[in-house]
A and B are shown apart, each in its own frame.
Chain A
């Protein structure tokens, strides 16, 4: 039913950005369709869902366990846009005043 999670097709590099939720139709997340496109708001940074292999690479690179990552609830509007499931890792590319752009990671957790 969920077709957006790239854990289903791990061969795909770069994960699946949520740049065009419309392109994926209303199957991107369960329940009612969101009336507003949260991803376009200036306060919302870019979220990218990582595949299983990518997540492993990230954890290895920073030498951390899954639980020590910051968390994001499944109910979060951005996580729902990506159709993320608990346990997956979302990469967040923040705009930062000090560093230009900064990459952070959050693990999807049950709300």
Chain B
């Protein structure tokens, strides 16, 4: 069965190429499914394809259509319903996630870090069913500070900070005394240790001693920067690690992490690690997820248009003063958006050109805009 459809698809594609018409793959797939096992002659197939192509062309967006406006309305209207709803949501395993309008604003503003960064870490098949191995990976990801596993005391008589590791906690996190000592030495502390405690000499000043103690408390021993919590959850495919905080680049390098499916909700990190096209996909995924979660059905093409717009220049730009609106080439368009006087003054001083090609400029000047009927240039057609 699968083989016949494959073959059919191939012949359809070949025919399309021969006929020099273009039909998107999804339409071809649907057509192939419809035809199924019915016997169709090549001639009939050609006719069908011609018909399909014609129908498809009728349903395409016409040049001149104001798609941006339609997108703005289609996202904006459901957006008004979002404001009323909750801002935070205790969702996946007691984790607090920003959802709804605040999240959508974050995506559109292209923030470097979202207010609740999160990762979904999938593991390789070898690891994902073994709870112990998964726990080990999780402990490598979750940040562990000295204060989490030991008591830190200040010894005023000897002017030193004493670290008393909690053996139970240490074992749970798979850290040894030597690990702690190593880390301390790496940072350049002078340490003295016996079996259960480590002491660090301080300069003879109370203030310095205090500062040292606080410094020691928050020192990282294990884990990835930025990841404050890692939760293990059983999913149908095996154990999956969810984290609060995100460090995409570092986590991907960990042995046992599936580099193909692990994701983060930090779009900027995705852009840096995987590139602009991945960022585009991430924006589409995150935005449509946010809208869907609120029970709003916005057609994905609108979101794709937004994603295309903000990734057009090869970096993730925000929509607003610092991004796409602020970088418009036209002075009048920028002046119409925000801080009017400064833009006009600057343009006057520099002597900027205004070619009047955009929509805003032409409205200001009182000309037909380059959309819809406005783009059409009529010419006289002499009688034949």
The answer on direct contact between A and B (beta carbons under 8 Å) is yes
A99 CB-CB contact with B under 8 Å: yes
Residues 7 to 48 of chain A near chain B (Cβ within 8 Å) = 35-38, 40-45, 47
Contact of A109 among B27, B28, B270, B314 (CB under 8 A): B314
Residues 12 to 34 of chain B near chain A (Cβ within 8 Å) = 24-29
Size class of the A contact interface (CB-based, 8 Å) = 20 to 34
Q: Which residues of chain A are within 8 angstroms of B259 by Cβ–Cβ distance? A: 36-37, 40-41
Selecting from B127-135, B199-207, B274-282, the interface stretch reads: B274-282
Size class of the B contact interface (CB-based, 8 Å) = 20 to 34
Contact of A38 among B273, B281, B300, B304 (CB under 8 A): B273
User: CA A96 – CA B303 in complex, angstroms?
Assistant: 12
A111 → chain B closest CB, angstroms: 8
A73 touches B277 (CB 8 A): no
User: CA A45 – CA B263 in complex, angstroms?
Assistant: 15
B308 touches A77 (CB 8 A): no
B39 CB-CB contact with A under 8 Å: no
Q: Which residue of chain B is the closest to A97 with respect to CB atoms? A: B300
B1 → chain A closest CB, angstroms: 20
Q: Which residues of chain A are within 8 angstroms of B27 by Cβ–Cβ distance? A: 100
B8 → chain A closest CB, angstroms: 15
User: CA A32 – CA B159 in complex, angstroms?
Assistant: 45
Q: Which residues of chain A are within 8 angstroms of B28 by Cβ–Cβ distance? A: 100
B25 touches A99 (CB 8 A): yes
Q: Which residue of chain B is the closest to A81 with respect to CB atoms? A: B275
B314 touches A72 (CB 8 A): yes
B275 touches A101 (CB 8 A): no
B25 touches A101 (CB 8 A): yes
A45 touches B277 (CB 8 A): yes
User: CA A101 – CA B260 in complex, angstroms?
Assistant: 20
Interface string of B183-212 (1 = CB under 8 A from A): 000000000000000000000000000000
Interface string of B214-233 (1 = CB under 8 A from A): 00000000000000000000
Q: Which residues of chain A are within 8 angstroms of B273 by Cβ–Cβ distance? A: 36, 38, 77
Interface residue SS majority, chain B:
helix
Q: Which residue of chain B is the closest to A69 with respect to CB atoms? A: B312
Q: Which residues of chain B are within 8 angstroms of A44 by Cβ–Cβ distance? A: 274-275, 277-278, 281
Q: Which residues of chain A are within 8 angstroms of B276 by Cβ–Cβ distance? A: 72-73, 76, 78, 106
User: CA A47 – CA B275 in complex, angstroms?
Assistant: 11
Q: Which residue of chain B is the closest to A94 with respect to CB atoms? A: B277
Interface residue SS majority, chain A:
mixed
B77 CB-CB contact with A under 8 Å: no
Q: Which residues of chain A are within 8 angstroms of B314 by Cβ–Cβ distance? A: 70-73, 76, 106, 109
Contact of A36 among B253, B261, B270 (CB under 8 A): B253
Q: Which residue of chain A is the closest to B26 with respect to CB atoms? A: A100
Q: Which residues of chain B are within 8 angstroms of A42 by Cβ–Cβ distance? A: 260-261
Residues 52 to 81 of chain A near chain B (Cβ within 8 Å) = 70-73, 76-79
A68 → chain B closest CB, angstroms: 10
* Contact status of A70 and B275, CB under 8 A, knowing A43-B270, A99-B24, A100-B26: no
Q: Which residue of chain B is the closest to A101 with respect to CB atoms? A: B25
Interface string of A87-107 (1 = CB under 8 A from B): 000001010111111100010
User: CA A36 – CA B274 in complex, angstroms?
Assistant: 9
Q: Which residue of chain B is the closest to A44 with respect to CB atoms? A: B278
Q: Which residue of chain B is the closest to A35 with respect to CB atoms? A: B253
Q: Which residues of chain B are within 8 angstroms of A97 by Cβ–Cβ distance? A: 300
Q: Which residue of chain B is the closest to A102 with respect to CB atoms? A: B24
B3 CB-CB contact with A under 8 Å: no
Contact of B26 among A41, A92, A98, A109 (CB under 8 A): A98
Choose among A40, A47, A92, A100 the residue with the greatest number of B CB atoms under 10 Å from its CB.
A100
A73 touches B24 (CB 8 A): no
B308 touches A76 (CB 8 A): no
Q: Which residues of chain A are within 8 angstroms of B261 by Cβ–Cβ distance? A: 41-42
User: CA A84 – CA B261 in complex, angstroms?
Assistant: 26
B383 CB-CB contact with A under 8 Å: no
Beyond A35-B252, A38-B273, A78-B275, list 12 extra A-B contacts (CB 8 Å): A35-B253, A36-B252, A41-B259, A43-B270, A43-B274, A45-B281, A71-B312, A71-B313, A72-B277, A78-B274, A92-B277, A94-B281
